[in-house]
A and B are shown apart, each in its own frame.
Chain A
Amino acid sequence: MKRQNILIYTALALFIAVNFFPFFWTFLSSLKPATRMFAYDPPLWPRAFSWENYRAIFTERNFQVNILNSLIVAGGASFFCVALGALAAYALARLAFRGKTLLLGGILVISLFPPVALVSPLFLFFRKLGLINTYQALILSYLTFALPLTIWLLTAFFRQVPWELEDAARLDGAGTWQVFWHVSLPLAAPGVFTAAILTFIYCWNEFLFALAFTTNDQSRTIPVAIVMFSGYHTTPWGQILAAVTVVTVPVALMVLLLQRRIISGLTAGALKG
């Protein structure tokens, strides 16, 4: 028993070390002065630290604008995705209507479209509407890809809410909206959180649409902005690594804080509670 434990912990430690090393190295390298970045035979722990890269991205590159853009786009897309997705999923879970299976299948098919195929038509579409370089363009295009997953996830959650609870609420005097708001939605909360977080991460990392639908530094989101750090002749690796560190931390923190909710969300339906 004890020997088995040691084995398991050793394996886990190794696994974590291997997985965590790139992030560790990114963080350390971002703190190295430019001259030490490409030193041959680098020490595991640098002798000198410098915050120069961080100062540079926030003062010379206005990286905070890109962070704000990403926060607004990812936050807005997550909010609308969950709000619309929850309503659609509730209807799909509770109403009996003709062609429901077909509709659910159709929703799934939408999410299987390769984004590359949609970039050009969407670009033309947004340019006609004058939406290039706006948050709306990104939020709208992200919604189309995040909604199907959200609807599927939340439909499963709403199906698990016992009918009798809704009957009880109706007899207690609640109308359809009140039943949804006070009983069904709170009980599907783990699903709502999971959907919101998955959508947020998807939007936070999305590159292709963000690249296509933004043309100036002021409206770029983080992934595109970081790529644009590179000039014709130089690539400022230190600054790129500093930016990567800055934008990974909030997502990692959010996932750590909400991981219990995410896990209960992703495994819901696997076991009957």
Chain B
Amino acid sequence: MAAITLTRLTKVYADGTVAVQDLSLTVAEGEFLVLVGPSGCGKTSVLRCVAGLESPTSGSIEIGGRVVNHLPPQDRDLAMVFQTFALYPHMTVFDNLAFGLKMRRLPKNELRQRVGWVAAKLGLEEHLHKKPRQLSGGEQQRVALGRALVRQPQAFLMDEPLSNLDAALRVKMRGEIMKLQRELGVTVLYVTHDQTEALTMGDRVAVLHQGRLQQVAPARELYEHPATRFVAGFVGSPAMNFLRARLRQGSEGLILEFASQKVSLPEDVLDGHPGLKEHADQELIVGLRPEHLQPQSETPTAPDTIFLRGDVDLVETTGPVNHVHLSMPEAETPEGDTPAPLLASLPADRSVEPRQTLELTTDLQHLHFFDPETGQAL
């Protein structure tokens, strides 16, 4: 096993598309790092550059401390699991698993032993003589994993390996891949567009947007302290609400104005968001997670509470929670439109009807603040 280090990696395609821009990232030895982003964000280009299937325009790629920029894929000793599985259709499962070992001229008995080990590990023993098309999707996926495992490579690259499976199987294989990774302690660079997959699987998650790295952090930190507005909106489901706000320098400190209310910001909020002080008398964007909104209670509220009022447009029932879509006539979207939409995840026991006006509260501590120009968190 080895670490993968990317230094200032840039990939520009022949047609001028900038797929990856100045990406520096390290996958530590034995780490499960997930590269996530919407389609077209450049994550697959990163993976293909690491694999050697594309050559980077600039920057360096190191595997186990050795620069591999000029090595062809077959000499990089990496294994890759493809979205389409890419099993060799004309070979049996055994030959699929053994192909990489044959190419490396492993002695016959060792080859048989290793294929047997992987087949046992993945429950493929009874399928060894079958052709890939005779297998179910889940079994094909296992063969694809096995073909990577059997090689015992420096690191694993996975390109959306679960997106061709149905939902139930995807959850199951997610668990299996994680278990295998922990058990074998292998280095994995995993690419996906699915944020749930990213958050559940990765030791750390790297969020990529338009070819640029937004943030690398463990899942919890991405959720609690998103570094940019993009990360805030991408991580978490349903997505974060964004509203336009203004910061005023009052006589007793900073005052946040939004949705027709003025709240003075206490010390602990200012300490948590050191960038706020530099944005006095400026516009900014406030982020609010749907799950942090509560229906207004009858009991007196704490001093740090924020009130929001909106008209209910639509109620989506998911079981334990209802996703309530509101429009707030008193608030503005970051783009300056009124009424601003707001999504709130409310407990299902609270009955909400469309067209009703709803009062919601949230705690000041739960707010996120972003610079409207740069999108950076404050």
Q: Give the interface of A toward B (CB within 8 A).
A: 162, 164-165, 167-175, 178, 182-183, 186-187, 189
Contact = CB atoms under 8 A, between A and B. Distances in A.
Nearest to A273: B89
A173 B104 contact: yes
A121 B33 CA distance: 68
A170 B54 CA distance: 12
A252 B80 CA distance: 47
B99 interface: yes
B230 interface: no
Main secondary structure of the interface of A (DSSP, over half): helix
B78 A171 contact: yes
Nearest to A172: B100
Interface in B72-89: 72-74, 76, 78-80, 82, 84, 86-89
Q: Which of A168, A169, A183 has the most CB of B within 10 A?
A: A168
Q: Which of B51, B79, B88, B151 has the most CB of A within 10 A?
A: B88
Contacts of A164: 82, 84, 86
B98 to A, nearest CB: 10
6 contacts: A171-B53, A171-B74, A171-B79, A173-B104, A174-B99, A182-B99
A182 B90 CA distance: 10
Contacts of B51: 167, 171
B168 interface: no
B147 interface: yes
A46 B72 CA distance: 72
B302 interface: no
Contacts of A172: 74, 79, 99-100, 103, 147, 151
A187 B86 CA distance: 13
A165 B74 contact: no
Contact of B73 (A162, A170, A187, A189): A170
Nearest to B95: A182
Contact of B86 (A162, A178, A182, A189): A162
B103 A171 contact: no
Contacts of B151: 172-173
Contacts of B87: 168
A133 to B, nearest CB: 43
Q: Which of B53, B103, B151 has the most CB of A within 10 A?
A: B103
A2 B157 CA distance: 59
B99 A165 contact: no
A167 B99 contact: no
A170 B89 contact: no
Contacts of A189: 90
B103 A174 contact: yes
Nearest to B79: A171
Nearest to A168: B86
Contacts of B82: 164, 167-168
A187 B74 contact: no
Nearest to B100: A172
B80 to A, nearest CB: 5
**Nearest 3 pairs between A and B by C-beta?**
A172-B100, A173-B103, A168-B86
Given A167-B53, A186-B90, A162 B99 contact: no
Nearest to A175: B74
Nearest to A185: B90
B162 to A, nearest CB: 16
Contacts of B157: 171
Contacts of A167: 51, 53, 73, 80, 82, 86
A230 to B, nearest CB: 50
Contacts of B90: 186-187, 189
Nearest to A161: B89
Contact of B53 (A165, A170, A182): A170
Given A170-B72, A173-B74, A183 B103 contact: no
B159 to A, nearest CB: 9
Nearest to A186: B90
Contacts of B78: 171
Given A174-B74, A174-B103, A178-B103, A169 B80 contact: no
Given A169-B88, A171-B80, A172-B79, 20 more contacts: A164-B82, A164-B84, A164-B86, A165-B89, A167-B53, A167-B73, A167-B82, A167-B86, A168-B82, A168-B88, A168-B147, A171-B52, A171-B100, A172-B74, A172-B103, A172-B147, A173-B100, A175-B72, A178-B103, A183-B88
A174 B98 CA distance: 12
Contacts of A170: 52-53, 72-74
Contacts of A165: 86, 88-89
Contacts of A162: 84, 86
Contacts of B74: 170-175
